[in-house]
């Protein structure tokens, strides 16, 4: 089980193209994150857990669905680590599985109002569903 | 990996396989060739076998060429009849397989044998040493170096680009970890330097041009027009008082207050003579005013002064150009540009200095009120591998931040002080004890975690940070945010490096000749390094290095003559076509051209011929490669020798 | 001057104002936006994973359709996606090769098109000084805050739009129209984006902080280039309100085109 998880972590790192080993756990990403207050695993911790191969823990994390890909973490990281890409890569390992969509499309009409731009709906479906 | 040669090279087999090569009279192996035992072996072999050439298969010639040349000389051989085959760095260190390593070592040995057959005896020339040193930079590093050289009895000139000597140390309030007053320990040094009979100080001056070589540098110094006669000015300060143009930002006070157009940067300045900042002066900008000239009791104002060029010869040059700090505007998330109460550590020094713009009263710049809380942010631009920052640790910030935090708490126990950090780095005598005292005795709150953004909330600032240990985000209230900005070399370091052919790294710090064994010398002979221009360091380290640089310079100046390298280029005048491709590639300006009478295929003709100044030539060989006719050749590395090596290898 | 123009989905429906005023102002300033004959939705978010090839195709098709030259965008999201996919096509060999295999065009596309934001055309091709000269109704006295959001600025290395932490292009634009630009801390912080579908509360808090930060510095109205930012600021802000306009609307107003255009419609 553990070996498989390490392999998964390696795959996540590969598709993210992030050099997570450059991280020195300064926490600047978490400090900069505008959505951090609602994350169960803050970005710097996310990088740490991934470095230690704990993909299954991260796959269950609410952080996946709070990250907005606003790139504040990536832009301010002093080491060129890109936490947003790592979060995205883990999110993809989840939603690429059959039936693992995060948004129930049938319920969408209830949350969409007439002024909501298409951009919002397309973005959300891209980020949360496959 | 750096291992013993014998680990990946069968040295006995190397000796064995070269033994049968024609002309090889003796071949053996020995464990420590560079040791006294190895050299004795070499001397005895010369005697016993009547050797006329020697090849040593060992480490890089950079390490021990001089050692073996000396041994050959002791055995009665010309030292230039020794060749080194580098079977360590070029061979054993890069191979893992002993078979491969041994085969390569044998090949390298054969190449060296092929070359040494063609070696000719060479004699080093001599060049005199000018007994005077030039120190560039008048901060604590330059002053200490100059004082030490002067004390040894040699003349020293200091050039300092700003109007006064003193440098960054003059701006500081207290020094860690003993908390002595910076000015109190610096000022006597400044006075000593100014009063020393062997020291000449050129302030408001810059290096314009340098030519020559070790022992024989010629420097042109641009003494910028001060617009005030130094010999007549009494330093009364009346001109500064009356000057109507008072809007320039004071460089010395980090822009926290303004100064007049005619100014002395600080009270203890040396010389205590003002300069006119022509950009700010109404006389120069609009041909109005002229008040200072009218009121100067000594008649010392000279608007007509022009820059003066001084040319001098020096035996040694010491670089002591110091540092500046990274522009915090590059890190906009800290809000330096838009919030007055976000300041740099150097600004904080001025703000807490009794001679500073607030007489040492700690206030917010926004409203002049006392802050209730202060946040210090470490590593602003340091340990930052992105294009915004510097990848290195600036080394001094952890300690000066601890000093700032402690001093605030000592003077104002009611102010809440937080320090955000990545790691606290305090190696140094009494350093860690000092930082812990700030925490344990003074109640400074250290939080491991960086700051992601500084915003204005209500009347004060909100510092959005991480608490990495707790795994949470926190927002710290602050009335004042102090940024520990990265140390960076002075902005003209690169320009000076190219002027002096001194090497410089990608961060613009000067590079040492050897990072461990020659840490205060530049790879360029006769150029020495003092202080932060070589890498971040604190005051005691700077002073220690300044002394070391002085000793190296003194060692050079104490010699009457220097031996010159005989491995220099020379021209075959009959085959030189005068195309001067060599002149274009010479990095040392050692090649010139003259019209000369030459015998060419039986005909006498006068034509352009390249000429090598052997004193300037460093023997790099670029010219011999560029020369299309093969007329340019390098002694000790002649074209024939190189080809023989190549033939032996292929 | 005629520029290839990529309007994007939202500008054809919910964010018509962003588009209409941009075209009208362009005409008045002497350039034309020629809509690409065929374009598809950019995907709204840039696919961050190296193996997300399908998600890059739509953007790549539009970029290739612009042929050699400039492709002008308006919506921050479209601009972000197109610019970053274009950078991948130019510099990421693996992505470039795989995308081209899907495009199936005769000639490979490797990022030749230059993606320009409308604001960049205004600044670098027309010039804010020139715009200031053309202003008929200067917006004197109006205290306007620029809301950049995330997508125009980050990552700075690829977007090359402005200093990501100390941007100034929108402030210069506001000043050119005669209004007073006001800088506030949250102008480059996220609006909450697509969380509006899944966590309205979170979006509300985020835009709430943006508006509070702007108000504190005396901002009376905000401008943006992003339909989703605009929506979140207008609809989701918790317990606070602030007028929000597209920057093009303000431009049209200052150039004296707003009434005209409204009348036409």
Q: Are residues C148 and C228 in the same domain?
A: yes
Residue B2, pLDDT score:
64
Q: Give residue C262's pLDDT.
A: 54
Subunits with at least 3 CB pairs below 8 A relative to chain C? A, B
Where residue C85 sits, what CATH number does that domain have? Answer: 1.20.1050.140
Helix (H, G, I), strand (E, B) or coil at C260: helix
pLDDT, chain A, mean: 94
**Assigned token pair, C4:** 């290839």
Query: Is B228 in contact with B274 (CB distance < 8 Å)?
Result: yes
Query: Under 8 Å CB-to-CB from A121, ≥6 apart: which residues?
Result: A108, A112, C197
Dihedral, CA of residue B412, residue B413, residue B414 and residue B417, to nearest 10: 90
Classify C238 as helix, strand or coil.
coil
How much is the pLDDT for B631? 95
* HEC assignment per residue over A25-58: CCCHHHHHCCCHHHCCCCHHHHHHHHHCCCHHHH
Closest residue in chain A to residue C207, using alpha carbons only? A34
Range of the domain at B448: 326-488
Note whether residue B123 is domain-resident: no
Phi, psi dihedrals of residue B403, rounded to the nearest 5°: -65, -50
Element (H, E) at C229: helix C227-231
Averaged pLDDT, C132-152 = 97
The answer to whether C55 contacts chain A (CB < 8 Å) is yes
- B340 and B447 within one domain: yes
What are B435-478's pLDDT values in tens digits? 999 999 999 999 999 999 999 998 899 999 999 999 999 999 99
When pLDDT is cut at 50, 70 and 90, the band that residue C154 belongs to is very high
Q: Quick count: other Cβ atoms within 10 Å of Cβ B315?
A: 25
3-state secondary structure of B404: helix
Give the Cβ contact number of residue C53 at 10 Å: 17
Give the rounded distance of the alpha carbon of A18 from its chain centre: 13
Q: Which pLDDT band, with edges at 50, 70 and 90, does C261 fall under?
A: low
B591, containing H or E segment: strand B591-600
Query: Which of C118, C145, C164 represents a domain boundary (last residue)?
Result: C118
Reported ipTM exceeds the 0.90 cut = yes
CATH code, domain with C153: 3.40.50.11810
Which of C118, C139, C160 marks a domain boundary? C118
Query: Does residue B563 belong to any structural domain of this protein?
Result: no
Judged by CB atoms closer than 8 Å, whether chains meet at B422 and A45 is answered as: no
Based on C-alpha coordinates, what's the Rg of chain A?
Answer: 15
- pLDDT at residue C149 in the model: 97
Looking at the structure, tell me whether residues C205 and C233 fall in a common domain.
Answer: yes
Asked if C90 and C159 sit in the same domain, the reply is no
Is residue B468 included in any domain, yes or no? yes
- Are C12 and C89 in the same domain? yes
- Rounded Cα distance between B418 and B439, Å, is 10
Rounded distance, CA B575 to CA B573, Å?
A: 6
| Calpha distance C171→C53 (Å, rounded) | 37
Map B474-491 to HEC letters.
EEEEECEEEEEECEEECC
pLDDT of B597 reads 87
State the total domains in chain B: 5
Q: Give the closest residue to B327 by CA, choosing from B346, B352, B349.
A: B346
pLDDT means per 10 residues in chain B (650 residues)?
Answer: 83 95 94 91 94 95 90 94 95 94 96 96 93 98 98 98 98 96 97 98 97 93 97 95 96 96 97 97 95 96 97 98 98 97 98 95 96 98 97 98 98 98 97 98 98 94 97 97 98 94 95 93 94 98 98 98 92 92 90 87 86 87 95 95 94
- Domain of residue C205 covers 131-255
Helix (H) or strand (E) segment spanning residue B43: helix B36-49
Within 8 A of A95 by CB-CB distance, chain C residues are none
In this predicted structure, what is the pLDDT of residue C47?
97
Same domain, B107 and B253: no
Model confidence at C34: pLDDT above 90: yes
On the question of pLDDT at C240 being above 90, the answer is no
The radius of gyration computed from the CA coordinates of chain B, to the nearest angstrom, equals 31
CA of residue C255 relative to chain centroid, distance: 20
Task: For C54-106, write each residue's pLDDT tens digit.
Answer: 999 999 999 999 976 899 999 999 999 999 999 999 999 999 999 999 998 88
Task: Read off the CATH number of the domain in which B348 is found.
Answer: 3.50.50.60
Q: What angle do CA B296, B301, B304 make, to 5 degrees?
A: 155
Measured CA to CA in angstroms, residue B305 lies from B200, B234, B275, B297, C245 at distances of: 21, 18, 11, 19, 59
**Domain end residue (candidates: B488, B511, B543):** B488
Rounded to an integer, what is the distance from CA B5 to the centroid of its chain? 34
pLDDT of B1 reads: 53
Whether C169 and C198 map to the same domain: the answer is: yes
Distances (CA, A) of C145 to B215, B566, B574: 64, 71, 78
Chain B interface, best mutation among A21, A28, A41, by max B CB count within 10 A:
A28
Alpha carbons A29 and A83: distance in angstroms, whole number: 7
Whether residue C264 is predicted with pLDDT greater than 60 in this model: the reply is: no
Query: How many domains is chain C partitioned into structurally?
Result: 2
Say if residue B101 is in the same domain as residue B152. no
Whether residue A35 and residue C46 make contact (CB cut-off 8 A), yes or no, is no
Q: Which of C94, C118, C142 is where one domain is finished?
A: C118
- The reply to whether omega before C123 is within 30° of 0 (cis) is no
User: Is there a domain that residue B399 lies in?
Assistant: yes
* Cβ of residue B337 closer than 8 Å to a chain C Cβ: yes
- What's the pLDDT tens digit per position in A26-40? 999 999 999 999 999
Asked if the model's pLDDT at residue A4 lies above 90, the reply is no
All domains of chain A, ordered by start, with CATH? 2-97 (1.10.1060.10), 101-130 (no CATH)
DSSP-assigned letters across all residues of B256-317: SSEE-SEE-SSTT-SS---EE-TTT-HHHHHS---HHHHH-TT--B-TT---EEEEEEESEE
Indicate yes or no: CB of B453 within 8 angstroms of CB of C163: no
Nearest CA in chain A to C157: A75
Q: Closest residue of A to C51, CA-based?
A: A15
Q: Contact, B420 vs B447, CB < 8 A?
A: yes
Q: Range with the lowest mean pLDDT among A17-21, B513-517, C145-149?
A: B513-517
């Amino acid at each position: 089980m553990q070996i498989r998880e390490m392999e998964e972590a390696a795959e996540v790192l590969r598709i993210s193209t992030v050099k997570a080993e450059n991280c020195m756990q300064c926490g600047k990403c978490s400090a900069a994150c505008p959505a951090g207050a609602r994350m169960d695993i803050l970005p710097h911790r996310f990088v740490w857990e991934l470095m230690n191969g704990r993909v299954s823990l991260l796959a269950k994390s609410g952080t996946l669905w709070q990250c907005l890909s606003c790139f504040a973490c990536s832009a301010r990281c002093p080491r060129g680590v890109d936490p947003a890409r790592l979060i995205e890569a883990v999110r993809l390992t989840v939603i690429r599985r059959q039936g693992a969509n995060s948004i129930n499309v049938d319920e969408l009409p209830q949350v969409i109002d007439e002024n909501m731009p298409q951009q919002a709906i397309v973005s959300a479906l891209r980020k949360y569903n496959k | 990996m750096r291992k013993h040669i014998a680990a990946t090279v069968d040295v006995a087999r190397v000796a064995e396989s070269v033994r049968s090569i024609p002309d090889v009279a003796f071949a053996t192996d020995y464990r420590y060739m560079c040791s006294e035992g190895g050299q004795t072996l070499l001397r005895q072999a010369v005697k016993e076998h009547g050797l006329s050439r020697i090849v040593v298969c060992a480490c890089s010639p950079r390490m021990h060429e001089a050692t073996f040349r000396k041994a050959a000389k002791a055995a009665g051989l010309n030292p230039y009849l020794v060749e080194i085959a580098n079977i360590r760095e070029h061979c054993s260190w890069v191979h893992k397989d002993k078979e491969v390593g041994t085969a390569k070592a044998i090949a390298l040995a054969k190449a060296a044998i092929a070359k040494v057959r063609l070696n000719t005896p060479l004699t080093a020339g001599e060049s005199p040493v000018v007994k005077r040193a030039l120190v560039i930079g008048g901060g604590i590093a330059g002053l200490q170096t100059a004082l030490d050289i002067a004390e040894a009895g040699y003349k020293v000139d200091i050039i300092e680009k700003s109007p006064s000597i003193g440098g960054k140390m003059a701006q500081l309030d207290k020094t860690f970890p003993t908390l002595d007053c910076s000015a109190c320990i610096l000022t006597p040094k400044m006075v000593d330097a100014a009063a020393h009979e062997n020291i000449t100080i050129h302030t408001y001056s810059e290096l314009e041009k340098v030519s020559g070589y070790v022992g024989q540098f010629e420097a042109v110094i641009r003494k910028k027009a001060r617009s005030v006669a130094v010999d007549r000015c009494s330093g009364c300060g009346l001109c500064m008082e009356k000057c109507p143009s008072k809007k320039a930002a004071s460089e010395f006070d980090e822009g926290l207050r303004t100064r007049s157009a005619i100014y002395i940067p600080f009270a203890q300045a040396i010389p205590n003579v003002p300069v006119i900042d022509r950009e700010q002066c109404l006389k120069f900008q609009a041909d109005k005013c002229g008040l200072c000239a009218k009121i100067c009791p000594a008649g010392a104002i000279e608007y007509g002064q022009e820059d003066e060029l001084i040319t001098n010869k020096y035996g040694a040059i010491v670089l002591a150009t110091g540092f500046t700090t990274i522009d915090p505007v590059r890190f906009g998330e800290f809000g330096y540009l838009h919030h007055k109460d976000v300041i740099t550590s150097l600004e904080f020094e001025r703000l807490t200095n009794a001679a500073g713009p607030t007489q040492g009263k700690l206030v917010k710049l926004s409203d002049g009120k006392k802050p209730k809380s202060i946040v210090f942010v470490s590593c602003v631009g340091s340990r930052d591998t992105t294009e915004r920052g510097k990848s290195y640790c600036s080394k001094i910030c952890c300690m000066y931040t601890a000093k700032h935090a402690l001093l605030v708490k000592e003077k104002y126990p009611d102010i809440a002080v937080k320090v955000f950090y990545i790691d606290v780095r305090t190696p140094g005598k009494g350093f860690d004890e000092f930082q812990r005292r700030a925490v344990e005795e003074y109640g400074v709150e250290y939080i491991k975690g960086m700051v992601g953004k500084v915003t204005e909330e209500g009347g004060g600032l909100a510092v959005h940070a991480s608490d990495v240990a707790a795994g949470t985000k926190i927002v710290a209230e602050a009335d004042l945010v102090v940024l520990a900005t990265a140390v960076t070399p002075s902005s003209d370091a690169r320009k000076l490096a190219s002027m002096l052919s001194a090497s410089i790294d990608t961060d613009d710090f000067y590079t040492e000749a050897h990072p461990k064994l020659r840490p205060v010398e530049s790879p360029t002979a006769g150029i020495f390094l003092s202080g932060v221009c070589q890498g971040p360091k604190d005051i005691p380290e700077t002073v220690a290095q300044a002394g070391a640089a002085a000793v190296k310079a003194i060692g050079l100046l104490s010699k009457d003559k220097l031996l010159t390298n005989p491995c220099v280029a020379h021209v075959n005048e009959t085959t030189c076509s005068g195309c001067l491709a060599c002149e274009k590639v010479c990095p040392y300006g050692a090649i010139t051209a003259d019209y000369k009478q030459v015998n060419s295929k039986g005909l006498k003709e006068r034509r352009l011929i390249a000429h090598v100044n052997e004193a300037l030539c460093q023997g790099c060989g670029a010219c011999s490669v560029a020369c299309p006719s093969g007329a340019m050749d390098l002694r000790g590395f002649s074209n024939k020798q190189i080809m023989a090596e190549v033939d032996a290898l292929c | 001057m005629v520029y290839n123009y990529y309007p994007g989905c939202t500008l054809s429906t919910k964010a018509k104002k962003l588009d209409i005023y941009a075209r009208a102002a362009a005409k008045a300033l002497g350039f034309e936006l020629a809509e690409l004959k065929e374009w598809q939705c950019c995907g709204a978010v840039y696919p961050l994973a190296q193996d997300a090839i399908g998600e890059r195709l739509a953007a790549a098709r539009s970029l290739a359709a612009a042929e050699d030259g400039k492709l002008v965008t308006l919506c921050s999201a479209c601009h972000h996606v197109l610019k970053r996919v274009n950078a991948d096509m130019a510099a990421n060999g693996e992505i470039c090769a795989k995308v081209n295999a899907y495009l199936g065009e005769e000639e490979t596309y490797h990022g030749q098109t230059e993606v320009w934001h409308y604001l960049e055309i205004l600044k670098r091709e027309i010039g804010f000084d020139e715009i200031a000269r053309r202003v008929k109704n200067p917006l004197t006295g109006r205290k306007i805050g620029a809301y950049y959001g995330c997508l125009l600025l980050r990552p700075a290395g690829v977007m090359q739009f402005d200093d990501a932490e100390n941007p100034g292009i929108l402030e210069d634009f506001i000043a050119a129209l005669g209004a007073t630009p006001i800088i506030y801390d949250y102008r480059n912080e996220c609006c909450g984006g697509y969380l509006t579908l899944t966590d309205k509360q979170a979006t509300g808090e985020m835009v709430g902080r943006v508006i509070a930060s702007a108000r504190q510095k005396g901002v009376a109205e905000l401008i943006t280039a992003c339909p989703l930012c605009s929506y979140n600021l207008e609809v989701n802000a918790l317990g606070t309100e602030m007028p929000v306009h597209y920057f093009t609307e303000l431009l049209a107003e200052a150039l004296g085109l707003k009434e005209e255009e409204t009348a036409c419609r």
